[in-house]
Chains A and B, each alone.
Chain A
Amino acid sequence: MTALIPRRVRSLASLAEALLTPHGMDRYLELVDPMLVRREIRGLVTAVRKQTPDSVTLTVKPSRAWPGFTAGQYVRLQVEIDGVRRTRCYSPCGSQYDGELEFTVKEQGLVSGHLNRALGAGSVVGLSTPDGTFTLPATRPERVLLISGGSGVTPVLAMARTLVDEGHTGEIVFLHYSNGPADALYRTELAELAARHPGLKVVHAYTHTQGGDLRGFFSPEHLERVAPWHREAEAFVCGPKPLMDAVRDHLGERVHTEEFTPPALTFDTANAEGQVRFKRSGRECANSGKPLLEQAEEAGLSPEHGCRMGICFSCTQLKTAGRVRNAKTGEVSGEEDEEIQLCISVPVGDVEIDA
């Protein structure tokens, strides 16, 4: 009889798991309090504030499974809207040494709209382990150039706050681009941060109005004026693609960017075969060899999606039949009723999607 007791039953927690099989402890604990979960990561919204009319800043206390993050990384945040779980990626913008997480989200779609309007203190959101390689090197550079545009401020701000907490001894220039003072996020906080840390210089560039420290889009002159030492600096850039491209053109290899743009995936469009059927809408098309998201859009559908690069899981749909290749890993999967990410799944022969 004793052979039937799992060998892992050593601690109270694993005893509880063995007693609560097959659902596991979290499925019971969450009914008492959603934040009690042990394995899943969740976040309790402790404060909500508005910096600009079209953005919201949330303070989130993570549950016990949260492993901590490195400044610059992103997290997949989940909310339930009309009964459906939606996932989007956001970079926490607090210092990596803070116990709580801070997210600033600009209202621009379904999920960001929900975060802006429906969430209050006491709400619980789902969180993932942090991900992403847009981080500061372990040996902090002497001279750091932080450049951001619009809501791209978030991962870069996390870096600035982390460096300040660490008592960074070199020079930091934080160059932030916004349309004008009305939508310049974190103006006050950045000013306070600079006041606290003499090595940090904050520069606001306004692309569309007067009154900033600089005017217009990024240019090499901007850099010459605010950080003449930029050739010896490591630069960290996050913002719209034209900004990141312009900085990379000018600074070359020393630029680290947040790649929220699709990596170059190669698709074999010449040898594609089979039919793609979108079950719910009844649309059908010949497999073009491109990712299913693109094929769906070409067939006149507009499936929900986010990053288009396989990280945010917004475009997840049920594949009811057929095989697909994951363009990121090359893995081919033919499992029935499997959830797949449309943006990186390429049909191999006939495929049916519940969309």
Chain B
Amino acid sequence: MTGLQDRLTPEQVEEFGRELDALRQRTVDSLGQEDVDYIHNIIKTQRGLEVAGRALLFAGFFPPAWLAGVGALSVAKILDNMEIGHNVMHGQYDWTRDPALSSQRFEWDTVAPAENWRHSHNYIHHTYTNILDKDRDIGYGILRMDDAQKWHPYYLGNPVYATLLALFFQWGVMLHDLEVEKVVKGERTWAENLPVLRKIVRKAGRQVGKDYVLFPLLTGPLAPLTFLGNATANLTRNLWAFAIIFCGHFPADVESFTEDETATESRGQWYLRQILGSANISGSPLFHIMSGNLSHQIEHHLFPDIPARRYPEIAGEVRAICEKYGLPYHTGPLHRQLWSVAKKIVKLALPRTSPSPVTVEPDRQLRAA
């Protein structure tokens, strides 16, 4: 694997950066009513499905109603978290100046408080994408997702931890913001974590209160069925979000980087790292919406603050630019990307068998929490 900085000459990187900047500018200039109408329609659909799902669970004694209710609620939660929440909180609609679409004010239907998430996702993950020891999304502090992470017997449980993370993904995302691995290493104190923790307790309390106490109680004798229905909807959303997100950065051919090679990055080099460190998932328009257009992870990482509905339309141009500069453009259908991620999770549970060209000093490993 060639080093990050050796792929293109300095002049090429600069020209490459300029082309992407120009594409960005063209897209930003064309934002308008259509984008607002689109997100309003998605919101309307999401709220409609949510209300319908909750209502159907009041007839949960009738199995088809229970199934339909759980289905509607699952889709509502997925839309809320991905196409609406994730994207609005990226500031993709801040230009509308609508408080309901404001990155600073939006709160999503998951236990992770928006404010904590915005820091660990928008800032840490999107700035330091795939830089070992910087991007805390590599393995979320509990998995070994990269060859360069030093092996430890703890990682024999890699497939188990990954399965647990998938099942309880919203809780994983919530706890992720506490940066527990840093507390363990002594880089952060519990006192510093207190404000983050307070927000977590308040938000999680409200979410649990609604899904597992209030709505079940309201359905009277059906409370256990409603409880189960809401838990299933949360589970569906967890599995789906986990799958989409892990396919974005962890398929086999996606690259990771070291702090040294990214220390003095230009804009063009930053773009380059985003392309090499992300992977798309191919699929139908409906699939793209359900993934929050994170199926266009490459475009999202290049332009995280452009409304995600624009990613499919600029993907062709991004791909053409990649071809022009001889850069890979990782993409594949969901099943293939998922399989690739699963293989990696299992493979990295075991110590490295053949030497890898990437060497990382032992003290730079991501230690397990």
Contacts and interface: CB of A to CB of B under 8 A. Distances in A.
B340 interface: no
Contacts of A31: 43-44, 47-48
Interface string A227-263: 0000000000000000000000000000000000000
A142 interface: no
B33 interface: yes
B195 to A, nearest CB: 14
B100 interface: yes
B339 interface: no
A339 interface: yes
Contact of A4 (B31, B51, B208): B208
B102 A339 contact: yes
A5 B91 CA distance: 32
B213 A5 contact: yes
B210 A19 contact: yes
B96 interface: yes
B207 interface: yes
Interface string B96-140: 111010111001110000000010001100000000000000000
Interface residues of A, number: 29
B35 A83 contact: yes
B104 A82 contact: no
A280 interface: yes
What is the interface of chain B mostly: helix, strand, loop, or mixed? helix
B95 interface: yes
Interface string B71-101: 0000000000000000000010011111010
A316 B95 CA distance: 10
B206 A1 contact: no
A337 B214 contact: no
A18 B104 CA distance: 21
A21 B32 contact: no
A224 interface: no
14 contacts: A4-B209, A5-B213, A6-B209, A21-B210, A22-B203, A82-B32, A82-B33, A83-B34, A83-B35, A85-B97, A86-B97, A280-B28, A338-B104, A339-B97
Given A83-B33, A337-B91, A337-B104, 16 more contacts: A15-B214, A18-B214, A19-B210, A22-B107, A22-B203, A22-B206, A28-B51, A31-B47, A31-B48, A80-B96, A83-B31, A83-B35, A316-B97, A336-B123, A338-B104, A339-B94
Interface of B: 28, 31-37, 43-44, 47-48, 51, 54, 91, 94-98, 100, 102-104, 107-109, 118, 122-123, 203, 205-210, 212-215, 218
Interface of A: 1-2, 4-6, 9, 15, 18-19, 21-23, 27-28, 31, 80, 82-87, 280, 316, 318, 336-339
Per CB-CB distance, the 7 closest pairs between chain A and chain B, nearest first, are A83-B36, A22-B107, A85-B97, A83-B33, A4-B209, A21-B206, A82-B32
